Chain A
């Protein structure tokens, strides 16, 4: 998945497991940028009585680099606190929850928002309410309204939301992790000599009807970019974004209190910039280490971007389908296109009227040229589809990042850096067969854009 359970250590720690990161110019407020960091993957909506929540012991952060050094110039910090109204009931709620202040809601969560800018920390909000999880028609009868009530308007034109949303990432988990099978092309897979698939099949969204916990913040552009930024060609218009989760160094089970004790400085345990990087680019033996580092240290992993393992796997797994990619892999040429897309941004001159370069520092960040206006007719393939406002220029909630990255790894973007290379015909057709229509809960046109969380009564059904 994008980054769900992508590394051994964090897969055991769901509340600290970043799953997806989005950054885009807000279509309904184009003077702002929306940043969304998702955590707590693969939530079954019916997961009571202790429904999902953020970790009170986790420091969640969204970082912005606006000078290209791969280090945070601005950081938004989120800390959570769970409160019980009544310790003598097993119930999450004792009646319908009609507002975030409902006395019928027993186990509530609140959060603070801080901003660190140039080393100075300021409090944006000391205590904001999360919405409850979406339980069902008796407990959360007007859930959409509840969720809207939990969108908070802060000073300076900032909006923030933290709570459960419908998972918007769509991916055919079941096929991709079955030895890189893609259902629409499964009959072309080598099947390891077995005769399993006789024809193509439509994709299946493995994340459909599941929920996630989102931290969403909408911030005026001027708060994020360097002073004087003006226009698409201005490098100051480009920001790099990533999210991280940190835990204190020591955690000890206190049997007398019946709770964990946390102590010591916070250390990063999860990181996410571009989708699928730690998932399919970084090898398993280094995933946990990668999660502990800032983007500025990503030069340590440059070889995995220059020679992506998945690119080398496609030709043998799909015999005869990717002959040109096979030659490219055999040539051992560095994939400068992948490095540009994921580590430095795309420099001016490669795509007419566009750049999102942050310079020479190799750093996995979601790069957004904030001067590119939102598209009036978005293409889910983003830049590959001619839509300059989509991935990998930031990432919108509906962008088909799986297909974009599959096609890039298959070679469609290599001509950007080597005009002598001709991609295989199949490279521009590779897909796991999904679209935003594969997500049952529709995306929203307004903040926080991800669909309303699925309720546990109807999901699963």
Chain B
């Protein structure tokens, strides 16, 4: 089992979700985060004084998958979330020790 963490631009969330659903991946956890990579921030002006906004809003999607589905899922996310411009985001793939379904107590891949 693996976990995918994808950091994407907020307005791309709907597109990514639809694409994943089409692929058969239906569960996910979404959170609002801030961050920057090599993109850095941009500057804004308030009453004549400049300030730099370093941390840009992003969305993090977390998905649990069987190992054989990971490559396909990563490709789907990449295609849906990409704009071709700087700041598109990143995908992290992590190993997972175990999964538990709280309602039934099931463990392992059947609990995904």
Please determine whether chains A and B interact with each other in the same assembly: no
